[in-house]
Amino acid sequence: MAKFAEIKEFMLRQIESGAWPEHSRVPSENELAEQFSVSRMTARRALQELTEQSILYRTQGVGSFVAALKSQSSLLEIRNIADEVQSGGHAYRAKLLQLTELPCPGIVATALGLKRNEPVFFSLIVHFSDSLPLQLEARYVNPKQVPLYTQQDFQEITPHLYLSEIAPLTEAEHIVEAIWPDEFTCQHLALKKPEPCLRLTRRTFSRDGAVSLAYLTSPGSRYRLGGHLNFALPR
């Protein structure tokens, strides 16, 4: 692992464990350089990248600090949203809006390796942090991979957790975009007026092929995306 990545991973572990709470000062370039026996330039790169990812913020002449932690989702690590919410000290719950089988739309058929109008499973769920809607999840699932999907109680278990157990993840694709929400999205995310939202389109695979295509939409004021990548070699 590159030294700057090692420093970033150490700092992220400190933040995620709560050892460094919000707005606490983190070690300086000099302190990190000495601790990890690297150059100041290497330490500066670690701090700079974490600042660019909004994990840290800098105050000129004072130092770097842990940013206020909105709910975060990693682009490089697939996390269960219930765990994300609860790790931030909030209560998680879900509201199931729809769970059904329907004819597969063309774009979904291409993504999941199905034929157009062939049966596909569909779920629509609102995920909450305390009483606040955090994410609207619209998910299409390949019935050939997960035949019992529509028989699950997704107010007790998240689709992510269920799919991880039934069809373990081997690969994922992400597309992130900023969108302006329509009336339906505003209603279910409890937005009094439209505001920019983040939409993460995620396609997941198991060893037997494409499993699901999910559209995850969150208000920009309540959610952010981030993450780090571990380049550990297989043993």
pLDDT tens-digit series, residues 189-199: 999 999 999 99
In a domain, 235, yes or no: no
**Boundary-marking domain end, from 66, 89, 107:** 66
Among 30-39, 125-134, 172-181, the range scoring the smallest mean pLDDT is 172-181
- 43 and 76 part of one domain: no
- Across the chain, mean pLDDT equals 87
Number of other residues whose CB lies within 10 A of the CB of residue 224: 17
Instruction: Check which CATH number belongs to the domain holding 7 and give it.
Output: 1.10.10.10
In a domain, 10, yes or no: yes
Stretch 76-105: mean pLDDT: 87
- 194 and 105 part of one domain: yes
- 83 and 170 part of one domain: yes
Q: In b/e form, how buried is each residue of 157-179, taking b as 16+ CB within 10 angstroms?
A: ebbbebbbebbeeeeeeeeeeee
* Per-residue confidence (pLDDT) for residue 69, from 0 to 100: 55
In a domain, 99, yes or no: yes
User: What is the number of structural domains in the chain?
Assistant: 2
In a domain, 157, yes or no: yes
In a domain, 198, yes or no: yes
**Residue 72 pLDDT > 50:** no
> Quick check: 143 and 119 in contact, CB under 8 A?
yes
Cα(158)–Cα(208) distance, integer angstroms: 22
Query: Residue 190 — left, alpha, or beta (φ > 0 → left; ψ -120 to 50 → alpha)?
Result: left
* Per-residue confidence (pLDDT) for residue 71, from 0 to 100: 45
pLDDT digits (tens, 9 = 90+) for 17-69: 778 988 899 999 999 999 999 999 999 999 988 887 778 888 878 899 988 65
Structure tokens at 159: 């689709």
Number of other residues whose CB lies within 10 A of the CB of residue 42: 19
Cα(135)–Cα(128) distance, integer angstroms: 7
In a domain, 231, yes or no: no
Segments forming the whole domain that contains residue 106: 71-225
* pLDDT-based confidence at residue 1 (cuts at 50, 70, 90): low
In a domain, 51, yes or no: yes
pLDDT digits (tens, 9 = 90+) for 105-125: 998 998 999 999 999 999 999
- 40 and 106 part of one domain: no
* Per-residue confidence (pLDDT) for residue 223, from 0 to 100: 79
In a domain, 232, yes or no: no
Residues 6+ apart with CB under 8 A from 104: 112, 114, 115, 116, 117, 118, 119, 120, 140
